[in-house]
Amino acid sequence: MKNVRLGIIGLGAQGGTYAGFIGEGKVKNMVIGAICDIDPAKKELAAEKYPDVPFYNDYIEMLESGDIDAVVTTVPHYLHPEIGINALERNIHALVEKPAGVYTKQVKELNEFAASKPELTFGIFFNQRTNPLYQKVKEIIDNGEIGEIRRTNWIITTWWRPQGYYDQGSWRATWEGEGGGVLVNQAPHQLDLLQWICGMPKKVYSNVKYGYQRNISVEDEVTAMLDYGNGATGVFITATHDIVGTDRFEILGDKGKIVVDDSKKITIKRLTKPESELSANMSWADAMKVFSGGSLSDIYTEEVLEFESVWGGQHIAVLENFAANIVEGAPLLAPGSDGINGVALANAIHLSSWLGKEVEIPVDEEVYLAELNRKIEEEKKNPIKK
């Protein structure tokens, strides 16, 4: 296969962006095979922009048309597992958008089915994994340069959304339509990066606000405390009401510290000796001398790395990597099976707040689903007035 013929399911903001990249020849080894959308207006748009590309309003018909080799699922979150399974079942490679689903039970079904089709490529659109900055952070951690992780702290409140954003459609920011708020819509990238770089927490205790500063039924403010099970702890904070938001990610190890500011700059402080050794061998008098104006060079070295981002570059990189895996067998940067980790973390944060107690990861899937369905029913009885 020279070029992967990609079927784009959903020609909205994301699907339209991907179609543009591929149509402009920016994605190596990939062409648009077909487009599918249930909105008649999108059919007109596709006919105008991509007149030679087949259009379908039924994705099953597209999967069985022979026009495509692979699909990308730019659709509502609940549909990713269903469409992914239907594609793989028909021997079509699948690239699912984030999050992989709303709850782990459905994502697990997708993963198990994908595992039965190892000859097919199954990926997830975690474009932040292609970001050189976060690849560098992971490399530093994996190499043991700052030692064993003691604490993580990520405040990511740069997701400001006005009420008008939520008012665009009745399905937005609803339990039935999206399955959650900032945790399933805006912050899945950070949840994935957090566990990809630092590992999965074992327990979560959260304080989550629902409709705190927006007229919505789902969460717009999250504070979660993480327990990694080995003594290490973490805090994850996100929100959609901070118009002057902060993006700061700190990882403290026993041999140093990494600070990421605005996803653009990494500051790495490497201790000259492990902290425990410095503690054991430094008298209080010597410590006072150092921290009262003395030289810190005996304590740590500092390195600062600056990164630039190119709009769309990360998305193109995911599409190219997906195509390269199909055509050349190149390793996937984001295997589809990894998608369950961020969903598991989001589920735990939600469930902890619903039950008012610390929960273990993975959560009890049946308990989570029962609570989610209760939220959906409550929402139907008391719909948000828009």
Q: For the segment 230-265, what is each residue's pLDDT rounded down to a tens digit?
A: 999 999 999 999 999 999 999 999 999 999 999 999
Q: Among 1-5, 19-23, 301-305, which stretch is predicted with the lowest mean pLDDT? A: 1-5
- Mean pLDDT in residue range 7-20: 96
- The per-residue pLDDT for range 282-329, each reduced to its tens digit, is 999 999 988 888 788 889 999 999 998 776 799 999 999 999 999 999
- Mean pLDDT in residue range 71-89: 97
Instruction: Return the amino acid letter for 233.
Output: T
Check whether 146 has a pLDDT greater than 70: yes
**What single-letter DSSP state applies at residue 333?**
S
pLDDT at residue 355 in the model: 98
Check whether 109 has a pLDDT greater than 80: yes
pLDDT at residue 290 in the model: 84
Specify whether domain 129-308+342-381 bears CATH 3.30.2000.10: no
Helix (H) or strand (E) holding 341: helix 339-355
Domain boundaries, the chain: 4-126+312-336, 129-308+342-381
Instruction: Return the amino acid letter for 72.
Output: V
pLDDT at residue 386 in the model: 53
pLDDT at residue 170 in the model: 86
- The torsion of the CA quartet 18, 24, 28, 29, rounded to 10 degrees, works out to 80
Mean pLDDT of the chain: 96
Give residue 385's pLDDT band: very low, low, confident or very high (50, 70, 90). Answer: low
Domain spanning 4-126+312-336 has what CATH number? 3.40.50.720
326 CB-near residues (< 8 Å, 6+ apart): 1, 4, 29, 69, 70, 93, 121
224 CB-near residues (< 8 Å, 6+ apart): 204, 205, 206, 207, 208, 235, 236, 237, 349, 352
Same fold, 4-126+312-336 and 129-308+342-381: no
Check whether 1 has a pLDDT greater than 80: no
Helix (H) or strand (E) holding 207: strand 203-210
